[in-house]
Amino acid sequence: MGLEEKIPQGVLLTTVEGIFGWMRQASFWPATFGLACCAIEMMTYGAPRFDAGRWGQEVFRASPRQADLMIISGRVSQKMAPVLRQVYDQMPEPKWVMAMGVCASSGGMFNNYAIVQGGDHIVPVDMYVPGCPPRPDMLIDAMFKLRKEIVMKRPIGAHELAEIEAQEQAALEAMATHEMKGLMR
């Protein structure tokens, strides 16, 4: 890749990681993926009253190739699921996914044949925002948390490779979801 992949672990890598993280969260462009009612709140989030341009998010990129973030805003139907996956696949790394609203998080009020019970059945989700629809204030809060805690802390280079290894190991040893009982987080 680039020069940053070759930096040895240590203070230099951590500093560069910090710079990369800061730049990524400062200019964090979402892709337009408004599906249903949550899309209205997402539009309001970008509109003047709850201006997302204050932190560099006023450009919702129409092309996923230029986007960092996919906000799944709205219910994902069975027909839309392959499209969602395709748009996610077209986004270049590093990319993040925010499931906005209850329908994108878990199927919401629609527990039926037509709606996929959560966007995380199709794409890996980094931030879940509850609400039907979540107020733009809630979306702002979720976006800030996503930026500060997840985007800014994304590892690069050797750290990234180590983290991928650790995640794979954890996934191999993890308990199956249907075996987890009594959890409500």
Tokens found for residue 69: 């973030």
Q: Which of 113, 175, 176, 179 binds another protein (CB under 8 A)?
A: 113
Contact flags string 123-162 toward another protein, x per CB under 8 A: ----------------------------------------
Q: How far apart are CA 169 and CA 9, in angstroms?
A: 21
In the list 1, 3, 49, 112, the residue contacting another protein (rule: CB under 8 A) is 112
Is 79 a binding residue for another protein by CB under 8 A? The answer is: yes
Q: Where are the beta strands (DSSP E) in the chain?
A: 30-31, 69-73, 96-100, 127-129
The answer to whether residue 48 forms part of the interface with another protein (CB under 8 A) is no
Q: State the number of CA atoms in the 13 A half-sphere of 109 facing the CB.
A: 4
Strands 127-129 and 96-100: parallel
Please, which residues bridge with residue 77 across strands? 115
Q: Give the whole-angstrom CA distance, residue 28 versus residue 126.
A: 14
Residues 163-182 that bind another protein (CB under 8 A): 181-182
User: Which residue, 49 or 185, is less far from another protein as judged by CB?
Assistant: 185
Residues in the interface with another protein (CB under 8 A) total 11
**Which residues line the annotated binding site for [4Fe-4S] cluster?**
37-38, 103, 132
Q: Which residues bind another protein (CB under 8 A)?
A: 78-79, 111-114, 117, 181-184
